[in-house]
Amino acid sequence: MRPRNSPDPTAAREIDTMSPDFDHGGRDGIIRKGDRLMSTKSSIYKFLRLWNDVSAVKKGKVGKRIGRRVAGKTTGRLLRKLFK
């Protein structure tokens, strides 16, 4: 038997989240549920973007697609600067 005030070694320890040693789960290997969802979503978007590029090549509308993608990126950057 262990003494009355000694901690139970099998019990879960309370974690001090304010400690500088605490890992808050940035991008260093810990994947949270939301991160996994966003990772899956971004993978799907990348796949679909490639799929649509292939489709544009097949239909012979590559120039129009490139123009629209450039216009979309430029618009996004301008709006990001405007609402920063």
Per residue in 63-73, pLDDT tens? 999 999 999 99
Is 77 a member of any domain? yes
- Where in the sequence is the domain holding 58, given as residue range(s)? 33-82
- pTM of the shown model: 0.47
Number of domains in the chain: 1
User: In the chain, which residue ranges form alpha helices assigned H by DSSP?
Assistant: 33-59, 62-82
Q: What is the DSSP string of 37-56?
A: HHHHHHHHHHHHHHHHHHHH
Please indicate, yes or no, if residue 6 is contained in any of the structural domains: no
Tell me, yes or no, whether 73 lies in a domain: yes
- pLDDT (0 to 100) of residue 4: 65
Of residues 51, 43, 49, the one with CA closest to residue 68: 49
36-63 confidence digits (pLDDT tens): 888 899 999 999 999 999 999 999 999 9
**The two three-digit tokens of residue 78, written as one number:** 């301008």
